């Protein structure tokens, strides 16, 4: 993993490329980085993922594994260098999403509004507490959600037949959305389908509207490592359940 490198960087002056990347992420709410990981890195992750316990569809607790924690530092350094990750960003969760013939699922249009925290706290700014896989989750104010960054690492080819993520460009800029407003915004702006190859990264803001369909070729598989990065201090008397 220490060999992380984005081949596309070679074609641009570093400063200009960094500015282009960060500008695209802020304006569109997502950014695709091709070929960040080589075949050797991807194969090593596959071996660990295939050995993971949990539901066929995945798990929210990958950061509990040493191999996953070891990915954080080089990944964070590379993304900081590209200007798409804040200096104080910490990995606070890594989820495995695993779509396959035995577990072929879909996700309705939504925003990611909940974060994993160490314990419940009394604060009127916090809502919708829940408990999943041993961790507390809560919906914080929009201001905190806007400071979060998702990094998705693709381990398999993800074509339009594999149930790729579909996103609504720019929808992260309008705060939390009702279901009715979300549908209207998708109708107005359309969707972008985020296909990928093994080793590609997708960077996105959690408030970006996104969805995915069932794979139309369920004999395939789609495995994604979904890292969530947040500020070292989330505020509101909260503590992250785990921070690397």
Does the pLDDT value for residue 141 go beyond 60? yes
What mean pLDDT is reported for the chain? 88
Q: Which of 19-23, 128-132, 231-235 comes out lowest in average pLDDT?
A: 19-23
- Contact between 156 and 198 under an 8 Å Cβ cutoff? The reply is yes
Q: pTM above 0.85?
A: yes
- Strand locations in the chain, DSSP E? 30-33, 58-59, 90-100, 107-110, 115-117, 127-132, 135-139, 149-154, 165-167, 192-194, 201-204, 210-212, 221-230
Band the pLDDT of 22: cuts 50, 70, 90.
Answer: low
Band the pLDDT of 232: cuts 50, 70, 90.
Answer: very high
* All domains of the chain in start order, with CATH: 13-230 (2.60.120.620)
C-alpha 197/C-alpha 18 separation (Å) is 22
Closest of 182, 141, 152 to residue 33, by C-alpha: 152
> What is the tens place of the pLDDT at every residue in 26-81?
999 999 999 999 999 999 999 998 887 655 657 889 999 999 999 999 999 999 98
């Amino acid at each position: 993993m220490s060999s992380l490198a984005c081949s596309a960087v070679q074609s641009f002056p570093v400063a200009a490329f960094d500015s282009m990347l960060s500008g695209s992420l802020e304006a569109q709410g997502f950014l695709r980085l091709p070929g960040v990981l080589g075949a050797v890195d991807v194969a090593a992750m596959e071996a660990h993922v295939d050995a993971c316990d949990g539901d066929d569809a995945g798990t929210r607790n990958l950061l509990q594994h040493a191999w996953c924690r070891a990915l954080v530092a080089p990944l964070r350094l590379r993304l900081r260098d590209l200007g798409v990750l804040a200096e104080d960003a910490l990995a606070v969760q890594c989820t495995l999403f695993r779509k396959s013939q035995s577990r072929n699922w879909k996700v309705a249009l939504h925003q990611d509004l909940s974060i994993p925290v160490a314990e419940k706290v009394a604060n009127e700014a916090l809502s919708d507490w829940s408990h999943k896989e041993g961790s507390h989750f809560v919906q914080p104010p929009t201001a905190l959600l806007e400071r979060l960054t998702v990094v998705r690492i693709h381990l398999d080819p993800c074509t339009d037949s594999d149930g790729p993520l579909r996103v609504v460009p720019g929808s992260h800029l309008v705060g939390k959305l009702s279901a009715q407003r979300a549908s209207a915004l998708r109708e107005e702006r359309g969707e972008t389908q985020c296909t990928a190859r093994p080793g590609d990264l997708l960077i996105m803001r959690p408030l970006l509207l996104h969805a995915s369909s069932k794979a139309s070729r369920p004999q395939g598989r789609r495995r994604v490592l979904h890292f969530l990065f947040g500020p070292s201090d989330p505020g509101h008397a909260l503590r992250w359940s785990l921070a690397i």
